[in-house]
Amino acid sequence: MKSSLSLSTAGFALLLAACSPSTVSDTETETAAATEAAQPAAASETATVNPLLTAWDTPPFDLIDSEDFIPAFEEAMASHIAEIEAIATNAEAPSFDNTLLAMENSGAELSRVGAVFWNLTSSASNDDIRAIQREMSPRIAAHSASITLNAELFARINTLFEQRDSLDLAPQQYRLLETTHQDFVRAGAQLEGDDRARFAEIRQGLAGLYTQFAQNEQADREAWTLPLSAEDLEGLPDYVVSAAAGAAADRGLEGHVVTLARSSVEPFLQTAPNRELREQAWRAWTTRGDNENANNNHDTIRQILQLRRELANLMGYETFAHYRTGGTMAGTPQAAVDLMEQVWWPARDRALEEQADIQARIEAAGLDHSVMPWDWRYYTEQVRAERYDLDPSEVKSYLQLDNMIEAQFYVAERLFGVSFNERFDIATYHDDVRVWEMTNSDGDVIGLFYGDYFARPGKRGGAWMSSFRVQNGINGDIPIIVNNCNYNRPAEGEPALLSFTDATTLFHEFGHALHGLLSQTEYPSLAGTSVDRDFVEFPAQIYEHWLAQPEVLERYALHYETGEPMPQALLDRVLAAQTFNQGFATVEFLNSGFVDMAYHLNTDPTSIDIHEFEQEVLASRENLEAIPMRHRSTHFLHTFAGEGYSSGYYSYLWAGVLDNDGFAAFEEAGDIFDPELAQRLFDSVFSAGDSQSAMDAYVGFRGREPSVEPLLRNRGFMDDAGG
């Protein structure tokens, strides 16, 4: 998820994405804490200045009240417009300094206000925050459009762009001019008359619909729980029982409940012997936003698709998919579809083999039903346990959250020479949140990292990275980055234990965080994760690979009671199981990718029947009934809660090609911390932001363009001989 919340230059065109509930990354990957916990503490009665409008080193959560947000937004937007008008009407001829640099320096107050507020809408929402979000999303969209559609401002940018080769610009200045011009053009700056006005209306309408979609999904998710009786708890592992007790306590309920947070429902589906309860949980999980209530998202989806199509047509594109992929590494919808097709059939073949294994287990148990979606995870875990002699509880006992956090820091230190030291004196928006300062080899603090790891009401599902402040080479501001995950909170006094998938998610999001923290660009609009959508997942996904390395696991996979390292035999089985069930995982993902792209290639979205459309797309590739979409349409936040991954869900697979090929370089070197490769990875990717094209960045690291073969091989779809 592209998470830059700066409102400078290129950030204008991305403002709508920042206003939506999604930022960088559900891991592939997925909400009101009690009002007292979710809402920042009230401001002092003696305060006369809105704390959101003051310059801060860290967000002043101990001073902010929800009533501060709308006045702060209004004042900050007014100041920003005044700054933009001064730039647009400057009597001097346009220059880099009086136009682009001035734009980079504008909107500081709005950046601060927005950074705090939009993070709270995802991490610590409540009724007040949601009401403000509904009001401000369209207003912020209108504000953004008033800038990107400012004819005088664009005329100055366009003049510089036409003269760019004669301006003697430094490389990052040249890149900033190119990306700013491109973003303004893609935001409608070249439209005229009624088309300009309609473009702004569409943007404003979409902003409201994105908020509506996300809030509908959240309302459906939080309204449902599955109470578990003492009989229902029989056969469930201790960690699932403990999580169910914690989920009930979080909601003020007695006993044990399963919720629709992925960290709650998925382990239940993997371990619950009661098939009827599994079906209940699975159906509730997959029908969020698809129920006959006020949270139904069918009409919202159709409205979003219709407005997106109209917007794309205004911009001269055949479909929204063409419009969106036009600014990515893929370049066209067909290129993205071709990649998915290349992986689909090998993945489907493997999934058929996996389904046969599951069916055999069902029949061996004397049952006569075929594999259904609520069966897959349950029997897969039995096959996994049998084939690799793995007990999930045993694996979790070696994967303490605190140790895995230290492991992610250790990898960063080995690769990039940075260290992390926890701070206890910085105000946060919730007691769960922890803060670390990142220092370089000289001991200088060069970034702050916030970690928010546990699921709770008021927090959206999934895992993501976002920013309270992006790195700014102009004024020296260090980045302030936050990771959110949704792990089950342990019982009082107990450690938080992770599955291997959970630990992979932790590393993934920290890869995003490092992309923001290590940024060393001159201009904030080029900083950190401000890169092509189908490149932004690469730093996160390549970072996952270090978790699975024996050198890391031997050091940090320590038993939570004895402190002993994971036995070599268990470690070997854990690593051997990494390609297990990859047919299912890839097919499930691609189902959502194909549907996402098909929606945005459709030229008559007003007539779409959501259920029929999903089924037609899946049937067109002979999908397996037992493997539906990873994210069904009505809760597909990536696609409909903002534009970040719309027509772009494929980007996780695109980045998968990059990360598997990229990590192969370290394997070929025989050293997972090879200093030369680590330096190239830092120089071309983690510190470079958007200072060069995505392919140039990858080639700068790898020395060549990527190959799809390592991905196919690592997922078990191709052997070392290429077959």
Catalytic residues: 509
Retrieve residue 382's tokens: 């039995």
Measured CA to CA, the distance from residue 75 to residue 72 in angstroms comes to 5
Q: Which residue spans within 179-286 are E strands per DSSP?
A: 226-228, 256-258
Taken as a whole, the chain contains a residue count of 723
Asked whether the beta carbons of 8 and 103 are under 8 A apart, the reply is: yes
Quick check: 610 and 298 in contact, CB under 8 A? yes
Per the CB < 8 A criterion, the answer to whether 473 and 501 are in contact is: no
User: For residue 436, which of 452, 420, 413, 425 has the smallest C-alpha distance?
Assistant: 420
Give the list of residues 6+ apart from residue 705 with CB closer than 8 angstroms, or none: 695, 698, 699
User: 651-669 and 533-547 are packed helices; what angle lies between their axes, rounded to 10 degrees?
Assistant: 40
Residue 338 burial (CB count, 10 A) = 11
Say how far apart CA 300 and CA 305 lie, in whole Å. 9
Which tokens go with 414?
């080995």
Tokens standing for residue 291 = 């129920």
Which positions ≥6 away from 473 have C-beta within 8 Å?
Answer: 520, 521, 522, 523, 524, 527
Side-chain-side CA neighbours of residue 235 (13 Å): 14
How many Cβ atoms sit within 10 Å of the Cβ of residue 660? Answer: 22
Radius of gyration of the chain (CA): 25
Residue 630 CA to residue 26 CA, distance in Å, equals 12
Element holding 227 (H helix, E strand): strand 226-228
Rounded to whole angstroms, the Cα distance separating 704 from 707 reads: 9
| C-alpha distances in Å from residue 347, one per residue of 138, 343, 719 | 41, 6, 14
Q: What angle do CA 576, 580, 581 make, to 5 degrees?
A: 170
Q: Which helix (H) or strand (E) holds 132?
A: helix 127-148
Looking up tokens 């045993």, which residue turns up? Answer: 394
3-state DSSP assignment of residue 487: strand
CA distances from 107 to 48, 83, 138, 667 (A): 22, 8, 18, 45
Task: Quickly list DSSP for 370-386.
Answer: PP-HHHHHHHHHHHHHH
